Amino acid sequence: MKSLNQLMLESKAAVIVVDVQNDYCHPEGALPRAGCDVSGVGEMMPKLHKLLQSAREFHVPVIFIQTLHEKATDSDAWTTRSSGRSAHVCRRGSWGAEFYEVAPEQDDIIVNKHRYSAFVNTRLDSVLKTLKIETLIMTGVSTNVCVESTARDGFMLDYHIVLVADACASYSQSAHDMTLENIEGYFGKVSGVQHVIDIWMDKIPDGSVRPMSAAQTTAR
């Protein structure tokens, strides 16, 4: 079995950012107003920003997953999820569906989804195959629902999975930890932001990219 370092040094990876949107993350979003604890989101956002900054510096593709719900995709079964509490979450065109404290840049890719998994009835698999991606670096919210659902389906489709523990968040620590254990046990690898960045630094040949200097990082 390959180590995380071997896996990432030998395969092309993309960062997958799942559902970092107002209704899931902002204190005034639909789920926080329904009682979900978003303190974990606040803790993970600086790490996510650091990972995204480094991914762009090292030319690692970044793919944003954005949930959009509308009447056309609201099946009878789907609207019963969470005992009906999620009926007004991330409606197309709403503030709640907008990204939270992240903004896709020109070369980033956005994939819209209508179910927990970003692979169900979306173009994600086609995008990944076009880019020749083999490894998915999983980030976002919530760890135990949409991130895990996407990671599981990605694994079933023969992608390597790396879940970045400190760049994901759930609405409880126990739910977050449960997914880390599940992914490590059955579906892939669990790592931290700094470890992933260190591997990218080892992978890039000298002179092929100019990482941001410490002075520039401090200035931001």
Alpha carbons 102 and 183: distance in angstroms, whole number: 25
- Residue tagged active-site, from 19, 23, 153, 166: 19
In the annotation, is 146 catalytic?
Answer: yes
In the annotation, is 90 catalytic?
Answer: no
- Residue tagged active-site, from 113, 153, 166, 189: 113
Identify the DSSP state of 12: -
Tell me if 168 sits within 8 A of 143, measured CB to CB: yes
Put the strands of the sheet holding 135-141 in their side by side order: 109-113, 62-67, 13-18, 135-141, 160-169, 189-191
The owner of tokens 């609405």 is 171
- Residue tagged active-site, from 47, 146, 166, 168: 146
In the annotation, is 132 catalytic?
Answer: no
Residues paired with residue 99 on neighbouring β-strands, in sequence order:
21
Alpha carbons 172 and 12: distance in angstroms, whole number: 32
Nearest alpha-carbon partner for 180 in 171, 194, 169? 169
Catalytic positions are 19, 113, 146
